[in-house]
Amino acid sequence: MSTKNLKNKRNLTLPSEPQSIDKLETFLVECHNPLKKQKKLFYDILFVLTEAVNNGIIHGNKQNPSKKVTVQFFSTEKTLNFTVSDEGRGFNSNSIPDPTHQSRIDEPNGRGVFLMKKIADKLDFSDNGRRVSIQFEIQ
């Protein structure tokens, strides 16, 4: 991708503490100010980012405040792109059980990645599950 097509770039580095998630809403507004007028898209992105950062803090970095979760953002004319990375051991993203399977339907946890995939226009894990790339199309 040519860098001349990039409209905006921002980064946010968070300690692996649950209260760090509070900084995501402000970060998102700073990333793409017109989102304030597109409420559904704004809250869809905020939900997916919150889930990704929460997973990085709790599951990836085991809430170790010396480890960081990094959120990177860039936009193009047609997309808003986020990458959330943690410093944990990683995981096999293909081994996540289907939360809609009858045997898991009553489980209280395990729906986050499933919902992220349903809400985002594109979602890809890399670096042994330590990095998730998330893309939303701009209408």
Q: Look at residue 32 and tell me if it is in a domain.
A: yes
pLDDT of residue 5: 56
pLDDT of residue 39: 92
Q: Look at residue 1 and tell me if it is in a domain.
A: no
What pTM did the predictor assign? 0.91
Average pLDDT by stretches of 10, the chain with 139 residues: 62 96 95 86 97 97 97 94 97 86 82 94 97 94
DSSP string for 62-130: TT-TTSEEEEEEEE-SSEEEEEEE--S----GGG---TTSTTTTT-SS--HHHHHHHHSSEEEEEGGGT
The range of the structural domain enclosing residue 113 comes to 11-137
Q: How many domains, the chain?
A: 1
